[in-house]
Structure 1
């Protein structure tokens, strides 16, 4: 199974509007200024410990090295990163018609987590599963775990 997360306003949030994980220590807090939504570290550790592939899928043009480095500082190993450049090269390239801003099914991602309602709408149109997160919600990670469990149960039943 593969699960991907958007960055901006999904995992990277404003500490003025959201509860956040503790900031990285010096000097990393000057290199990686983004703040992670509270619960991100435990959620990602749960995903890794369950043997699920952990991806970042963002329209941001932050480099893969930067994204991996930030999560590594929090003790999180990512399996793959799809940033704006990779998406343009691998999804948009060669298509005359406009493709959605994210297309997780291209990478066989089972569940994508995003804050953008248009990504969820594209999921219904293009056939990929999106879990939408929004404003501050202390239960957001538990809701995602529940959704992951449903998908894993369904996959096991399909194999029978």
Structure 2
């Protein structure tokens, strides 16, 4: 199964507990990941899922991949705002995310708006709250 994850306020934020960073990450200004991300991604890989990052930010693909690599996590594919816009350019779809066009089975996000888009355009979402202390279990149970 292909799972995609949003970045801002889903995996990256100062609103929830964060993974520990090392000296090199701090020096290089690597963004801090939500606590539990490393173990969750390792478990998903163990279960043979592919992990995509699907963000509406303009961060470069290499920056995103390097951030996860610095935590010992390899992501399979990165979709940023540029790739999203390019893929949807000649369609009549006006959605902030459209995982189906990238063959994504389930998209994980924090936005209720993305959940509404999923219902409208027929893609599956798992919406997690910044206050959900058991967010990784929420995801594992729903997939």
Question: For structure 2, which runs of at least 5 residues remain unmatched after alignment?
Answer: none
Taking the aligned partners of 2:18 and 2:98, their CA distance within structure 1 comes to: 28
Query: The residue matched to 2:23 in structure 1 has which SS?
Result: coil
Q: Which residue number corresponds to residue 3 of structure 2?
A: 3
Q: Which residue number corresponds to residue 63 of structure 1?
A: 60
Q: Which residue number corresponds to residue 12 of structure 2?
A: 12
Deviations 1:46-90 (A, max 9, x none): 111111000000000100000000000101111100000110111
User: Radius of gyration: which is bigger?
Assistant: 1
Q: How many residues align?
A: 143
For residue 29 of structure 1, report the CA deviation from its aligned partner: 1.7
For residue 138 of structure 1, report the CA deviation from its aligned partner: 1.7
Q: Is this contact kept in 2: 1:32–1:70, CA < 8 A?
A: no
Q: Which residue number corresponds to residue 154 of structure 1?
A: none
Taking the aligned partners of 1:99 and 1:124, their CA distance within structure 2 comes to: 13
Query: The residue matched to 1:3 in structure 2 has which SS?
Result: strand
For residue 114 of structure 1, report the CA deviation from its aligned partner: 0.4
Paired residues for 1:2-151 under 5 Å: 2-14=2-14, 17-23=15-21, 25-91=22-88, 93-95=89-91, 97=92, 99-148=94-143
Which segments of structure 1 move beyond 6 Å, counting only runs of 4 or more?
none
TM-score, L = length of structure 1: 0.85
Taking the aligned partners of 2:57 and 2:27, their CA distance within structure 1 comes to: 20
Query: The residue matched to 2:133 in structure 1 has which SS?
Result: coil
Question: For structure 1, which runs of at least 5 residues remain unmatched after alignment?
Answer: 149-160
